[in-house]
Amino acid sequence: MRSRDCASLADDIRNETAAPEAPAVTARPVRPAGPVGRRISSTFASLSEPAYRSLWYGMLLVWGSLNIQMVARAQLAYDLSRSAFLVGLVGAAFAPPVLLFSLFGGLVADRIDRKVIMQFTQLGLAANTLFVAVSITTDTVTIWHLISASFIQGLLFAFMMPARQAIVPQLVGKERMGNAVALNSSGMSLMTLVAPALGGVMYAQVGPELVYYVMFAFTAAAFVLTARLPGVGKPVQKSGKPIAELAEGLRYILRNGIVLTLLAISLVTAILAMPFRGLLPVLADEVFGRGPEAVGLMLSSIGVGALAGSLVFAGGVRKGRGLVLMISSIVSGIALVGSAVLPNYTVLLLFMVLIGVGDAARRALNNTLIMEQVDDAHRGRVMGVYMMNFGLMPVGTLPLAAMAEAWGIARALTVVGVMLTAFGAVFLVAARRVRRL
């Protein structure tokens, strides 16, 4: 009896001390995101992956450093030499190692952890930038320092970029690969917009020394961010015959007509559409009588167009991508001609925006279409061939610089613009399979 009384007393105490029941809450129906919300969500979908975010932030820093350098190195070379040809030579020194070693860089990306490759090459980029910065600080910098640094940078890029491109599908999966590639392009475009203006203003206000130390800090920070990546970039295959694997990768490209055409478009447009950037200090000085701030603003205008275009492509454009890719080359060619024959600075900036849109199409669409057409076992080697376009840009700079020295920068840009328009038209007519992608 006593035990029943105790149990009853315990029940009374629990009932009296229990928290009062919360009043019922009528849940509001969750409204589905509208078209704008869905568009924004799809545009930035890949950034929901933590590993890809680290890769993307690191890319921002590396590309920011590279775009600051486009202003600082070209302007420093011009200040040291007052020669358009030597300015072009500094940029062209980047090309031979990229052309010679990008294929091997792609092979290495298929055999070694891609994260490790990025770590070593980014550390090398930081050391290379620091070398130039110290040379400026000690007042020993010469044009040959800049040429040597450009060559070393090209060697490091030949191994870093195929690994950086090939690791993307392993971080986000194939379903988000196109979005991730377009976001890479958006980040590059953002840095093309912001970094050159920053570099031009810094160079004009405080000189090249501080600019190079800022570039070093950017690259060192990218190394730290890349260290956070998981070791997902493991080799797909590994054999003791690297030359045989390299040859097999080239045969794979030759067997795939669409990939071969896309690579041809990339390489040809890289020779014609990109090199004029290295001679913008000459254009600013000869045609407009302006200095490094104007160079930075021109590059930033390219970034405005590239950022706008790449964000559109990141939102999931699926139809007519091949057609847009080829038309973009024609638009870029017309814009180059317009920049040369209409010597008005405001109009020039508008043409730079159009060139930026063309850049976005080539970077986002061409890259995505190639990645979709290849399997992971060959992706590193294919991207190694694709990254050769970085080596061909400076190769185009040297003859453009020679023409600019002989005829003037305006006539040189007109010739290159006409050639780019003509090649774009040929691809548009002849490459029917790519046009239908």
- In tens, the pLDDT along 203-240 reads 888 889 999 999 999 999 999 998 888 776 555 555 56
Domain assignment of residue 201, yes or no: yes
Domain assignment of residue 53, yes or no: yes
Of the pLDDT bands very low, low, confident and very high (cuts 50, 70, 90), residue 133 is very high
Question: What single letter denotes the amino acid at residue 430?
Answer: A
Domain assignment of residue 63, yes or no: yes
Domain assignment of residue 19, yes or no: no
pLDDT score for 135: 93
Nearest one of 397, 374, 332, 378 to 89, comparing CA atoms: 397
Domain assignment of residue 87, yes or no: yes
Q: Is the pLDDT of residue 7 over 50?
A: no
Q: Is the pLDDT of residue 31 over 60?
A: no
Do residues 161 and 266 lie in contact, with contact meaning Cβ atoms separated by under 8 Å? no
More confident residue, 9 or 59: 59
Cα 369 from Cα 54, distance rounded (Å): 24
Task: For residue range 244-260, list pLDDT tens digits in order.
Answer: 777 888 888 888 888 88
Residue 293: which residues within 8 A CB-CB, separation 6 or more?
200, 201, 204
Domain assignment of residue 25, yes or no: no
Q: At what angle do helices 376-386 and 242-255 cross, to 10 degrees?
A: 80
pLDDT score for 320: 73
Average pLDDT, the chain: 79
pLDDT score for 130: 95
Q: How many domains in the chain? A: 1
Beta strands in 294-359 (DSSP E): none
pLDDT score for 239: 57
Nearest one of 84, 147, 73, 182 to 402, comparing CA atoms: 84
Domain assignment of residue 11, yes or no: no
Q: At what angle do helices 409-430 and 257-273 cross, to 10 degrees?
A: 170
Two tokens, residue 54: 């680290």
The rounded radius of gyration (Å) of the Cα atoms in the chain is: 26
Q: Is the pLDDT of residue 437 over 80?
A: no
Query: Which range marks the domain in which residue 95 is found?
Result: 49-229+242-435
Write the DSSP symbol of residue 240: S
| CATH code, 391 | 1.20.1250.20
Two tokens, residue 322: 């091949």
Domain assignment of residue 34, yes or no: no
Mean pLDDT of 95-122: 85
Task: For residue range 333-372, list pLDDT tens digits in order.
Answer: 898 888 888 778 888 889 988 888 888 777 777 877 887 7
